[in-house]
Amino acid sequence: MKYSVALPSYIQDQSLEHLLRGDGQEDLCFALWNPSVGKSRTTALVNEILLPNAEERTVHGNASFLPGYFERAISLAILKKTGLMFMHSHLGPGWQRMSDNDINAELTHAASTMGATGLPLVGMTLGTDGSWSARFWEKTGSRTYEKMWCETVRVIGKSFSVTYCDNILPKPKFQKELERTVSAWGDNKQADLARLKVGIVGAGSVGSIIAEAIARMGIVDIKLIDFDSLETINLDRTLNATKEDIGKSKVEVLAKALRQNATAENFKVSSIEFSVVEKDGFREALDCDVLFSCVDRPWPRSVLNFIAYAHLIPVVDGGITVRVSKVKTLKGADWKAHIVTPTRKCLECLKQYDPGLVSAERDGWLDDPTYISSLPDEHPTRRNENVFAFSLSTASLQVLQFLSMVIAPLGVSDIGGQNYHFVIGSMDIEEGGMCNQTCPYPTLIALGDNTGFIVTGKHFKAEEARRARINKSDTISLMSIFKRGESRPFSNLVIEMRKSSRSYVWWIIIVGLIILLILFFVTRF
Amino acid sequence: MPAQNFIDDLKALGYEPEVLSENRIAFSYVVPEGKFKDQTIKLGFEIPTDWNLTPPSGPHISPRLLPIKADAAGHPERVAESPNFGQEWEYWSRPYPNWPNSRRTVKEYMKYIRHLFETQ
């Protein structure tokens, strides 16, 4: 299991104000956190700082807390069903190591914290430049607790910053292929960019282009999440897909291309053949630092919206709308890109999806051709016109939004939402803006797995797509075995069938053969 | 839990929901308006697991009031089978329009259900 911490920018501001003292001394405080458990990474989401009262800690160059402060903090953690975090500051910049006193202060409270809250104590140390180090104190034996260093500490909000633990995620070495890219913004920015774990949700026209772009820019770890298979009608828009790939999983086809085209040393791409609305796909998404939303359905968009707020993972979203006249002439085409994260408008308030349709999709209605055909022509679910050039431009806008957030040239990390109008060639910018007053998503910030909502469910079309690919693969395997192996011993044939097929298929064949043999002997004798 | 919140709020409105399965409920409902006015029916909902971020997709109704017409254009004619509730039920797929501008409450949703019957 890997570990990380994420905190909203307003929590960062509160922490800096308290912990970075003007008199050059260290300070400390407790905080509350909620878990966000992904497939292979657990993140502590900091959602409340508990500042000390005057008599609860002493400052003497270093800082120490009194038992009453710990007791107050742990009582609140129990009441609110959160984890407990201990924060303190050091007097230098960058990622911070721990002194023996630091280790002792945290270790001696690890057991009581785990016992009271059921969650490990998380320790964080702040450097003078706003960088953090963090660790989870996990129980590794009956009375043994060990610190598990966090790979990253991420601050999410108007700006986006990451402190990396270089021991776990070292700065990548840049190969010659990246010379021009690195020269655009420097080694340090490239190192920060390259080490982000980026998820692409939707491996269709926009997703395939975004994936190619970021792989060529040197991102080391990319996760592709899509359940679907390639069809002929995708070939005019899906980068790197060919006729030979029809019927294959979109993420597998894309991953193969990325492995050839990526410029990072030790490049890693994961192909996740699930929808983000399925539990497995959702947990994979939580392993990411940033997610690109390349989907066009309400349910996955609502899930990504939820992740952006509850799990503090910025979502770079986009969308294309094409309007065609009744006589099939182009009336208009618009596409947009924006980032959703706490302190920015959410996808629902940006009207990127209709929550009224989420349940309809969850119940399978949006995949029912009869239901779809009964919707009005202009209904967003019926609109499926698209052109490679439109996807290219949308993908470009989304990648540029991502780069602005991460690289923040001249300190500008929020360029606002962009809306391009193809027919007149103009761009609208939606600056600033917060969610509507009644929007529930800001109330979910940093609640993680403790929101009480379950946004995932069974996705029938995804299950069907995976089954179809397995069945096709079994048929091809069996056909190739029978073509090749007519003169081989029967036992070898069975072994090969077991390796290559689903167990039910070879069982049916074996049982069938046995029945035939029995009938043969019965009729003969 | 979202389902329990929905059930509690229905009870607060005076209904007596029966839990048929984890997120599926049904309760007695007297149609207040429209061509089925004063009829007592069973009204069923699949409560979304993320209620009230999203509303139910539409009511399930027993006994069947209208002919099954899954390919009809929309309200008031589109009526589908309701396999999860059973053969005596029908399903009206009626996504709530503009849920973000509503109060996102059960009371608000039941007003919408009333409107659906009013406009039958």
* A443 in reach of chain B (CB within 8 A): no
pLDDT reading at B76 higher than 60: yes
B4 touches chain A (CB under 8 A): no
Q: What DSSP string runs through B48-104?
A: -TTTTTS--S--EEES--S--BTTS-STTT-BEE-TTT-TT-EE---PPTTGGGS--
Cα distance between residue A380 and residue A319, in whole Å: 11
H or E stretch covering A449: none
Q: Beta strand A152-156 with A132-141: parallel, antiparallel or unpaired?
A: unpaired
Q: Give the pLDDT band (50/70/90) at residue B70.
A: confident
Cβ distance A358 to B100 less than 8 Å, yes or no, reads: no
End-to-end CA distance of chain B: 33
Tell me the CA distances in angstroms from B67 to A465, B70, B78, B80, B81, one per residue in order. Answer: 33, 9, 9, 9, 10
Test mutation, B49, B50, B77, chain A, max A CBs within 10 A: B50
Asked if A45 has any chain B CB less than 8 Å from its own CB, the reply is no
pLDDT score of A486: 45
Q: Sign of the CA dihedral A194, A34, A339, A372? A: positive
Nearest CA in chain A to B100: A439
Q: Does A365 lie at the interface with B, CB-CB under 8 angstroms? A: yes
Give the strand order in the sheet containing A83-89. A144-149, A132-141, A121-126, A83-89, A28-37, A41-50, A2-8, A152-156, A160-164
Decide if B72 touches A, using CB distance below 8 A: yes
Mean pLDDT of B79-108: 93
Helix (H) or strand (E) holding A89: strand A83-89
Please indicate whether, in this complex, the C-beta atoms of B95 and A354 are within 8 angstroms of each other.
Answer: yes
Residue (of B21, B27, B22) closest to B9 by Cα position: B27
Phi, psi (deg, nearest 5) at residue B79 = -140, 135
- Please give the pLDDT value at position A487: 47
Residues of A in contact with B96 (CB under 8 A): 356
- Tell me if chain B has a CB within 8 Å of the CB of A449: no
Residues from chain B that touch A363, judged by Cβ atoms under 8 A, are 46, 57, 93
With contacts defined as CB-CB under 8 Å, which chain A residues touch B49? 453-455, 457
Q: Do the Cβ atoms of A66 and A58 come closer than 8 Å?
A: yes
ipTM: 0.94
Answer whether A402's CB lies under 8 Å from A292's CB: yes
Q: Is B82 on the interface with A (CB under 8 A)?
A: no
DSSP helix/strand/coil, A42: strand
* φ, ψ dihedrals at B53, nearest 5°: -60, -40
Residue pointed to by tokens 């497939």: A39
- pLDDT, position B100: 94
Query: Could you state, in chain order, the average pLDDT of each consecutive group of 10 residues for chain A (525 residues)?
Result: 97 96 93 98 98 92 92 97 97 94 95 97 97 97 95 93 96 90 92 97 96 97 97 91 94 97 95 98 98 96 98 97 88 94 94 93 83 71 80 97 95 93 94 88 97 95 94 71 51 52 68 86 78
3 state DSSP class of A291: strand
CA B61 to chain centre: 7
Phi, psi (deg, nearest 5) at residue A26:
-75, 165
Residue A62: its pLDDT value, please? Answer: 86
The pLDDT of residue A255 is 97
Q: What percent helix, strand, coil does chain B show, rounded to 5?
A: 20, 20, 55
CB A505 within 8 Å of CB A472 = no
| Gap between the Cα atoms of B81 and A249, Å rounded | 33
Q: Is B79 left (phi over 0), alpha (psi -120 to 50) or beta?
A: beta
Q: Could you tell me which chain A residue has the CA closest to the CA of B4?
A: A452
